[in-house]
Chains A and B, each alone.
Chain A
Amino acid sequence: KQEVTQIPAALSVPEGENLVLNCSFTDSAIYNLQWFRQDPGKGLTSLLLIQSSQREQTSGRLNASLDKSSGRSTLYIAASQPGDSATYLCAVSFRNYGGSQGNLIFGKGTKLSVKP
């Protein structure tokens, strides 16, 4: 069964620090990987989408990398700010999941707190 794991479950850093969030997945046969942000009591906001043929994507202070062979992705946040405090979710679209194609499987998230 394909699974997505995010470590750590929670992270607290001082403002201005660069940080890395980790995501691992059990099957390298994927279509893509997407990073989301979720604020408390809110919906999911898409941050970055990496297709299986790509190695990384960048948006502002965010950079996401993908290594299919090792089943890993990292989300790098530069110069963190208190406004970055949220839960970050990694989701993988696997090529074959329980007989259905392309269903999105989520990790349980990393809760980030950036202290002023």
Chain B
Amino acid sequence: NAGVTQTPKFRVLKTGQSMTLLCAQDMNHEYMYWYRQDPGMGLRLIHYSVGEGTTAKGEVPDGYNVSRLKKQNFLLGLESAAPSQTSVYFCASSYRFDGYRGYTFGSGTRLTVV
């Protein structure tokens, strides 16, 4: 099925461990995004990418790094996980920067840091 695929779906990390979340889209979208969703806070933008090889910071970038080596993939890394990074992470993509044709979201990764 066409769309945005996130792996893994669930993960438990110990404080200080590192991990990478993978997002893949098969719609040939230029723009990709990483959001986190926390109770009472809504969805907030972590990092985004306007094309292969480019990334930029969003609203809450601290503690995360990203890479977009291939157009279809957008990776989110946590170098040293902290309990404050316990959240649900969503990846999204769009055809254009203005969201023309809308945004497509993945099913999310539920991350718990203990």
Interfacial residues, chain A to chain B (CB-CB below 8 A): 31-32, 34, 36, 41-44, 46, 49, 51, 89, 91, 93, 95, 98, 100-104, 106-109
Contact = CB atoms under 8 A, between A and B. Distances in A.
A67 to B, nearest CB: 19
Given A34-B103, A43-B105, A109-B42, 19 more contacts: A31-B98, A31-B99, A32-B99, A32-B100, A34-B99, A34-B102, A43-B106, A43-B107, A44-B90, A46-B105, A49-B102, A89-B43, A93-B98, A95-B98, A101-B98, A102-B96, A103-B48, A106-B42, A106-B43
Contacts of B58: 100, 103
B18 to A, nearest CB: 25
B99 A100 contact: no
Give the 9 A-B CB pairs with smallest separation, nearest first: A31-B98, A43-B107, A93-B99, A44-B105, A102-B97, A49-B102, A108-B42, A106-B43, A102-B98
B67 interface: no
Contacts of B40: 108
A84 B59 CA distance: 31
A46 B97 contact: no
Interface residues of B, number: 27
Nearest to B44: A106
B42 A104 contact: no
Interface of B: 33, 40-45, 48, 56, 58-59, 90, 92, 96-108, 110
A104 B44 CA distance: 9
Contacts of B41: 108
Nearest to B108: A43
